[in-house]
Each structure stands twice: as structure tokens, then as C-alpha cells.
């Protein structure tokens, strides 16, 4: 008979595999959307809507999925979720019109809701001091975005874009079956009838939940948005072909998934607040450099006009994107460490709310990226937008977490001074 420890790690390994495949499929339009854009003659805003459509349903469904996970258990919910996407994935290969891609994309997007199910399912198998690591390992399934960028372009070049969803439909079916046969259920993890929907939704009144949602809309929503956008950005900004652009874009996606487990370890060791604080600062500095557009400056000198070029070349750009990918990976884990620390009994619902906010960030940001490019003609405007969002988040964190601690310490010192006898 399998031990509890064996069951726990079996759940984490198979859930991580399943989440990786789900994320591959969720990010599929980041690659196949480019030939579809050319075929249909879409502008940047329409392209942004196309690649973001799966993210919408994957975001909105996270709250109900979190509630169902608390009520029925993660194993059955995860399994049914994966099977429900198989037919829509295949139908993408049969689409010929823009609206058809949008409709099938909505159904395929359900795969993105797997995060909320898996994060709660895995966390409950471990003690509190190991939950950050367990959730971080599961979250490494975000590397599915990088896998799609490595695999899908090869399929597109060899067989055409329509073959990608056909292969992915088979992959999802096989993964769902493997997951079902090699994972376990624990009745103690289910809330069953002991909790009502009203009680579950009461968490929406907690302002801390909305604060963590805002943090996650950056580290996860920003990750999803940039993972969707970067292949197209490399093609437009640096003139790469599809395979090279996708490979370069994977430099951002790979650390954004793999290093999430490291973020979980750091969060267990140093605390969610400390890690998240530094993640946002590193991200802000990276986005400052990414925001500056390619610029030619002419200066009148005694020898005549001299022109200087200011801007990031492809190598520097990729290095900075790699850095921000690391920061986002660690931040995704640290935000969920907040949740496991403060809401141990309803992780599913809280992760559903926070995950929904993160996913909605991943939906709206690509559309805003496209709209900004259409309006300004400046590709780096996407990074300018994210810079502003993170600046607001740092201010929010300072006033709600950093400043109260400083005031508390100052008060303690004043009390200590008054207690000293004269």
C-alpha cells in the first residue's frame, strides 16, 4: 500500500505534468496566432484579442473551479477539466474565420483554469512549512509556455499551423488518462456539504485578497501577457523569422516556469512579503530599460550634426527579459505563499479569486499592448504600461505592509524608552 508521502509526491509530479500540458495548450495562439494573423489580415489589436481570448475563460472559470476543488476534491475536478477541452482543441484546426477562432479559443481557455485546481490539490498533501515548495514545483508547469514556443514552430514549419491543435488534442487525452491512473484522492481534503457557496464567497469582502490579486495580476498576468506577445515582438522589432523569434521568446518563458519552485523555497525561508517586495523592485528596474524605444538622436557639434542611436539590441533585450522572467517566477510563488499562510482552510477559493485576477491581467494586457501599438506606433509602449502598473503596486505595498511595520517598530521603541527608570 502506498505511503502518504508517496501519494503526496505522486500527486505533485503528475499534477505538474498535467499543468505543463494545459499551459502549452493555453499559450498555443502565441505561435499559431502569427500565421493566422497573416492569413486573416488582422491588425495589432485584433491579434491581441485573438491570443488573449483563451486567457479570458481560463481566468473567469478559476473562481468556480476553486470552489469545486474545495467541495469535491482536486483529482476529479482536474480530470474532468482536461477531458472537457479535447474536442475544442481539435476544432481549432478546422476554423477558417476570425469569429470561429475566438469561439473555440474561449472553450480551449478552460485549460488555463487548471492552475487553481492543481495548486489547491497539491498544497493540501503537505504540511505548512513545505507548502511553498510544493506549490512552487507545481507552478513550474508554467514552462508549458516555453515548450509551446520550442515545439509548435517546428510543427508549423513542417506540417502547417493546423497540425498543432490536432497533436495537442491527442496529448491532452493521454495526459488526462495518466493523471487519473497515477494520482490519489484524500477525503479529508474535501469540504463537502460543510461549507456553503455564500461562506466561500465571503472572502471577496477581505481587502487583503484584492491586494494579493493585484500582485498576482502582475507576476502571473504580466507573465502570460508577455509570453503571448514576445514572439510577435521579436519578429516586428528585430526582424527574426518565426522559429528564431519563438526560441528567443522562450528565454523569458523558461525561467518564468522552472524557477517557481525556487520562489517557493525562498518564500518558505524568508517570508512572502520580503520576497514579493524585492520581486517588484527588480521588475520595475527591468521594465525601465525595456520601456525606452529605439531612438536616433541628432546633436549639432562644431564638426556638424552627429547622430547617435539609443536602444536595446536583441541580446541585451533578451538578457533583461530573462531577468524579469526569473523575478516573475519567484513572485508567482511568493504571492501564493501569502495565501497558504493566511487562508489554510479555503485555499481553493482564495486561489480561485487571486488566480482569476492574474488570468484577467493576462487577458487584458495583450489587448492593451496591441491597442497602444496601434495608437502610438511604439512597440515598447507595452513595457511602459507594465512599468506604471508595478509602480502603483509598490506604493500600495508600502502603505499597507512596509509603513505599518515601521510605525509599529517606532511605537515599540517609544514604549521601551518610557519604561526605562530614571
- Number of Cα atoms under 13 Å in the Cβ half of residue 118: 34
Binned at pLDDT 50, 70 and 90, residue 420 comes out as low
- Alpha-carbon gap, residue 265 to 62, rounded angstroms: 25
Which residues does 252 contact at the CB level (< 8 Å), separation at least 6?
A: 226, 227, 230, 318, 321, 322, 324, 325
CA 324 vs. chain centroid, Å, equals: 13
The b/e string for 272-301 (b: 16+ C-beta within 10 A; e otherwise) is bbebbbbbbebbbbbbebbbebeeeeeeee
Q: Render pLDDT for 368-377 as a digit per residue (tens, 0 to 9).
A: 998 998 899 8
Tell me the fold of 4-408: Growth Hormone; Chain: A; (1.20.1250)
Q: Render pLDDT for 189-198 as a digit per residue (tens, 0 to 9).
A: 665 545 666 6
Q: Rg of the chain over CA atoms, in angstroms?
A: 23
Q: What is the per-residue pLDDT for 128?
A: 76
Q: Render pLDDT for 206-262 as a digit per residue (tens, 0 to 9).
A: 788 888 888 989 998 898 889 888 888 999 889 898 889 888 888 888 776 667 778
Q: What is the per-residue pLDDT for 359?
A: 81
Which residues does 176 contact at the CB level (< 8 Å), separation at least 6?
A: 18, 79, 82, 83, 86
Binned at pLDDT 50, 70 and 90, residue 288 comes out as very high
Is 328 within 8 Å of 393 (Cβ atoms)? no
Q: What is the per-residue pLDDT for 360?
A: 85
Phi, then psi, of 191 in degrees rounded to 5: -85, -30
Q: What is the per-residue pLDDT for 64?
A: 86
Closest CA to 227 of 54, 103, 16: 54
- Alpha-carbon gap, residue 58 to 65, rounded angstroms: 10
Closest CA to 217 of 328, 127, 312: 328
Average pLDDT over every residue of 32-41: 92
Q: What is the per-residue pLDDT for 416?
A: 61
* pTM of the shown model: 0.75
CA 75 vs. chain centroid, Å, equals: 22
- Alpha-carbon gap, residue 162 to 160, rounded angstroms: 6
Q: What is the per-residue pLDDT for 181?
A: 93
Q: Render pLDDT for 104-145 as a digit per residue (tens, 0 to 9).
A: 999 999 998 898 899 888 888 888 777 777 887 887 887 888
CA distances from 123 to 75, 149, 216, 340 (A): 13, 29, 18, 8
Residue 269 predicted with pLDDT over 60:
yes
Q: What is the per-residue pLDDT for 11?
A: 92
Query: 310 - beta bridge partners?
Result: 295
Q: Render pLDDT for 314-339 as a digit per residue (tens, 0 to 9).
A: 999 999 999 999 999 899 888 888 88
Is 75 within 8 Å of 185 (Cβ atoms)? yes
Residue 291 predicted with pLDDT over 90:
yes
Q: What is the per-residue pLDDT for 37?
A: 92
Q: What is the per-residue pLDDT for 84?
A: 95
- Alpha-carbon gap, residue 421 to 171, rounded angstroms: 74
DSSP 112: G
Q: What is the per-residue pLDDT for 249?
A: 87
Which residues does 120 contact at the CB level (< 8 Å), separation at least 6?
A: 66, 69, 70, 74, 347, 348, 351
Q: Provide, rounded to the nearest whole percent, the portion of the chain with pLDDT above 70.
A: 89
More confident residue, 205 or 86: 86
Is 5 within 8 Å of 127 (Cβ atoms)? no
The C-alpha torsion from 149 through 332 and 19 to 318, rounded to 10°, is: 10
Which residues does 1 contact at the CB level (< 8 Å), separation at least 6?
A: none
Residue 271 φ/ψ region, left for φ over 0, alpha for ψ in the -120 to 50 degree band, beta for the rest: left
- Alpha-carbon gap, residue 305 to 27, rounded angstroms: 47
- Alpha-carbon gap, residue 61 to 113, rounded angstroms: 6
Q: What is the per-residue pLDDT for 22?
A: 95
Which residues does 401 contact at the CB level (< 8 Å), separation at least 6?
A: 273, 277
Helices (H), 160-196: 163-182
CA 367 vs. chain centroid, Å, equals: 16
SS3 per-residue string spanning 351-374: HHHHHHHHHHHHHHHHHHHHHHHH
Amino acid at each position: 500500500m502506498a505511503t502518504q508521502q508517496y501519494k503526496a509526491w505522486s500527486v505533485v509530479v503528475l499534477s505538474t505534468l498535467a499543468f505543463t500540458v494545459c499551459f502549452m495548450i493555453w499559450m498555443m495562439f502565441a505561435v499559431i496566432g502569427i500565421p493566422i494573423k497573416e492569413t486573416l489580415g488582422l491588425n495589432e489589436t485584433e491579434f491581441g484579442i485573438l491570443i488573449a481570448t483563451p486567457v479570458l475563460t481560463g481566468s473567469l472559470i478559476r473562481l468556480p473551479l476553486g470552489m469545486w476543488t474545495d467541495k469535491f476534491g482536486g483529482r476529479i475536478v482536474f480530470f474532468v477539466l482536461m477531458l472537457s477541452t479535447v474536442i475544442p482543441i481539435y476544432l481549432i484546426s478546422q476554423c477558417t474565420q476570425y469569429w470561429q477562432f475566438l469561439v473555440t479559443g474561449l472553450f480551449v481557455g478552460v485549460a488555463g483554469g487548471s492552475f487553481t485546481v492543481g495548486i489547491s490539490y497539491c498544497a493540501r498533501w503537505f504540511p505548512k512549512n513545505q507548502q511553498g515548495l510544493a506549490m512552487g514545483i507545481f507552478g513550474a508547469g508554467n514552462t508549458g509556455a516555453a515548450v509551446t514556443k520550442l515545439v509548435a514552430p517546428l510543427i508549423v514549419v513542417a506540417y502547417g499551423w493546423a497540425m498543432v491543435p490536432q497533436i495537442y488534442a491527442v496529448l491532452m487525452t493521454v495526459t488526462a488518462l495518466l493523471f487519473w491512473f497515477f494520482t490519489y484522492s484524500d477525503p479529508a481534503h474535501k469540504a463537502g456539504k460543510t461549507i456553503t457557496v455564500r461562506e466561500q464567497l465571503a472572502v471577496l469582502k477581505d481587502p487583503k485578497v484584492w491586494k494579493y490579486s493585484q500582485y498576482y495580476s502582475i507576476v502571473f498576468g504580466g507573465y502570460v501577457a508577455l509570453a503571448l506577445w514576445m514572439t510577435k515582438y521579436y519578429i516586428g522589432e528585430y526582424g527574426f523569422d518565426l522559429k528564431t523569434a519563438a526560441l528567443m521568446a522562450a528565454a523569458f518563458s523558461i525561467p518564468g516556469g522552472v524557477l517557481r519552485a525556487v520562489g517557493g523555497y525562498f518564500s518558505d525561508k524568508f517570508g512572502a512579503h520580503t520576497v514579493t517586495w524585492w520581486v517588484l523592485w527588480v521588475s520595475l528596474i527591468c521594465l525601465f530599460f525595456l520601456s525606452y524605444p529605439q531612438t536616433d538622436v541628432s546633436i549639432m557639434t562644431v564638426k556638424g550634426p552627429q547622430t547617435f542611436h539609443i536602444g536595446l539590441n536583441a541580446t541585451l533585450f533578451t538578457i533583461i527579459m530573462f531577468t524579469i522572467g526569473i523575478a516573475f517566477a519567484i513572485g508567482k510563488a511568493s504571492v501564493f505563499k501569502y495565501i497558504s499562510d493566511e487562508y489554510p482552510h479555503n485555499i481553493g477559493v482564495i486561489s480561485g479569486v487571486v488566480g482569476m485576477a492574474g488570468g484577467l491581467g493576462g487577458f487584458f494586457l495583450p489587448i492593451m499592448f496591441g491597442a497602444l501599438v496601434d495608437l502610438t506606433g511604439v512597440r515598447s509602449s507595452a513595457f511602459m504600461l507594465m512599468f506604471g502598473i508595478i509602480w502603483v503596486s509598490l506604493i500600495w505595498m508600502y502603505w499597507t505592509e512596509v509603513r505599518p511595520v515601521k510605525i509599529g517598530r517606532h511605537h515599540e521603541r517609544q514604549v521601551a524608552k518610557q519604561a526605562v527608570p530614571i
